[in-house]
Amino acid sequence: MLYNSCQEIDNFLNYLLFTVSTAFYEFINFGKNNEKKKEEDKKSKDIIILIKNMHKWYGDFHVLKNINISVKKKERIVICGPSGSGKSTLIRCINSLEEHQRGDIIVDGIKLTNDLKNIEQIRTEVGMVFQHFNLFPHLTILENLTLGQIWARKTPRKEADEIAMYFLEKVHIAEHAPKFPGQLSGGQQQRVAIARSLCMKPNVMLFDEPTSALDPEMVKEVLDVMISLARDGMTMIVVSHEMGFAKSVAHRVLFMDDGEILEQNTPENFFENPQNERTKLFLSQILD
């Protein structure tokens, strides 16, 4: 009898111990899983551009092949690669200037489709600066900066003027506001083009070889503006062969060839320890 009671107590204690330890284990793991989930959620919220298995063709020509990129907020990426490798096409796809045929491009949670409203939405997120400035020659610098604000954003003219002057000051060119683009140097025109994009308050800026059409003495003034944008925390994707800029400003350098991203790395590893033979060849050509 006494033995049976002891046995029951023992069984009960074992059961209690088992239940408590299981609950404790689950509690600890729940905490861990919760932390892991929070971490994953935070990471996905930090991603502003996500490109998944993206392909593009021009007719039969397969110009972009299985592109996968994720860009975090405030991240700065430099894309380099030989002529014709698809760098411009890639960043034009991010801005909906070109259609892609397969895969996904998601910008700040907006998935790119070819519907016009969607394109408008993307353009408010993403600003773009081209190699050849693309300013309207018959409009003054100030008008070039207010046009988009007034027509696309419906900003009242007075406010649009104020915003324009703020950004012209930021790129150190406010005194040229009443002039026409043809009266400015290439470097000055490119700074105007950057200011014009900033007026639309984009979350991401794309640059397609912004300094390659400039005389060498004007390259620095444009790069300085881009460096100050980087300091302000702008998310940037820059197609450029300015390797000094890439080394000092980029978080990551991507190398493209023949429509593919062949290599990506931190600038230190990219320049000092390139892995792919084609990256090595490309770097030996541009760094000589």
Ligand X SMILES: Nc1ncnc2c1ncn2[C@@H]1O[C@H](COP(=O)(O)OP(=O)(O)OP(=O)(O)O)[C@@H](O)[C@H]1O
Instruction: Give me the amino acid identity at 134.
Output: N
**Per-residue CA distances from 17 to 14, 20, 22, 24 (Å):** 5, 5, 8, 10
Can residue 56 be called a binding residue for ligand X (CB under 6 A)? no
- 148: exposed, middle or buried (Cβ count in 10 Å: 0-12, 13-18, 19+): middle
- Look at residues 163, 164, 208, 203 and name the one whose alpha carbon lies nearest to residue 190: 208
> Tokens at residue 206, please?
């794309």
- Out of Mg ion, ligand X, none, which partner does residue 3 contact, by CB within 5 to 8 A per kind? none
Got the DSSP string for 136-165? -TTS-HHHHHHHHHHHHS---HHHHHHHHH
Alpha-carbon distance of 34 to 212, in angstroms, equals 49
Can residue 189 be called a binding residue for Mg ion (CB under 5 A)? no
Instruction: Kindly tell me which of 128 and 199 has the beta carbon lying closer to ligand X.
Output: 128
For tokens 């996500």, name the residue: 50
Can residue 80 be called a binding residue for ligand X (CB under 6 A)? no
Q: Which of residues 174-193 bind ligand X (CB under 6 A)?
A: none
- Other C-beta atoms lying within 10 Å of the C-beta of residue 218: 18
Can residue 279 be called a binding residue for ligand X (CB under 6 A)? no
Report in angstroms how near the CB of residue 90 gets to Mg ion at its nearest: 9
Can residue 58 be called a binding residue for ligand X (CB under 6 A)? yes
Where does this chain touch ligand X (CB under 6 A) — which range of 13-21, 55-63, 117-125, 179-187? 55-63
Q: Are 279 and 253 in contact (CB under 8 A)?
A: no
Can residue 136 be called a binding residue for ligand X (CB under 6 A)? no
Can residue 87 be called a binding residue for ligand X (CB under 6 A)? yes
Where does this chain touch ligand X (CB under 6 A) — which range of 19-27, 86-94, 118-126, 226-234? 86-94
Can residue 95 be called a binding residue for Mg ion (CB under 5 A)? no
> 237 has which bridge partners?
77, 206
Contacting residue, 83, 114, 273, 285, with ligand X by CB under 6 A: 83
Which residue is at the shortest CB distance from Mg ion? 88
The binding track of 10-49 with respect to ligand X, each residue x by CB under 6 A or -, is ----------------------------------------
Radius of gyration of the chain (CA): 26
- Look at residues 95, 152, 150, 80 and name the one whose alpha carbon lies nearest to residue 128: 95
Report in angstroms how near the CB of residue 225 gets to Mg ion at its nearest: 21
Contacting residue, 56, 77, 79, 88, with Mg ion by CB under 5 A: 88
Alpha-carbon distance of 112 to 105, in angstroms, equals 6
Q: By the criterion CB under 6 A, which residues form the site for ligand X?
A: 58, 61, 63, 81, 83-89
Q: By the criterion CB under 5 A, which residues form the site for Mg ion?
A: 88
